[in-house]
A and B are shown apart, each in its own frame.
Chain A
């Protein structure tokens, strides 16, 4: 039962991450949506697959190794992209002063 809950959770997290990448205003917020949602979704979907499939233990260990690699690699690439974008002069468009926005 827990594996189907994990599968549904991962699929909905993936859909939310794709919507965030489509709708957010600039590179940094899109990276925020991409990294968190994609890493979490991939993690839960792969763990659910390792629990569902009727396979030898070696195959399940391979799926867990793939999960570990995604968890290590995806934030590293996102950090490199954000660093390159900031060094090339792209400014964030997001509004940080939330108090001034709420109380004009």
Chain B
């Protein structure tokens, strides 16, 4: 659970790789040319965060975190659908 255990565990290495790719994707979220680019980046980051939470549940042996990951992926589904529908409706009325 300490810092030196993080680098000898394969789950810890995978968590570090996923965090690094999430920080790479923040470039697309911040400087996306259009709004759907930002939505794509946010959707991908949320999926990576769900996987990181599930890996952290296995790494720390705190298994209630898997329930939290299931709730987060459901919220991501509703949020993504509502963002896409809002984007579609807003540009039809213009």
Residues of A participating in the B interface, judged by any CB pair closer than 8 Å: 4, 7, 10-11, 14-15, 17-19, 21-22, 27, 30-31, 34, 38-39, 41-42, 45-46, 49, 52-53, 55, 59, 62-63, 65-66, 69-70, 73-74, 76-78, 80-81, 83-85, 87-90
Contacts and interface: CB of A to CB of B under 8 A. Distances in A.
Interface of B: 10-11, 13-14, 17-18, 21, 24-25, 27-28, 34, 36-37, 39-41, 43-44, 47-48, 50-51, 54-55, 58, 61, 63, 66-67, 69-70, 73-74, 76-77, 80-81, 83-85, 87-88, 90-92
A30 B29 CA distance: 12
B84 A83 contact: yes
A77 B77 contact: yes
8 contacts: A11-B17, A34-B43, A49-B11, A66-B69, A74-B47, A84-B84, A84-B85, A88-B91
Given A14-B18, A49-B11, A80 B63 contact: no
A90 B73 CA distance: 28
Nearest to B18: A14
A6 B24 CA distance: 23
Given A18-B24, A73-B76, A76-B77, A52 B58 contact: yes
A22 B27 contact: yes
Contacts of A53: 58, 61
Given A11-B14, A77-B43, A85 B25 contact: no
Contacts of A69: 70, 73-74
Nearest to B9: A52
B73 A22 contact: no
B40 A21 contact: yes
B93 to A, nearest CB: 11
B51 A87 contact: no
Given A77-B80, A84-B87, A87-B91, 9 more contacts: A21-B28, A22-B25, A30-B40, A42-B51, A53-B58, A62-B70, A81-B39, A81-B43, A84-B85
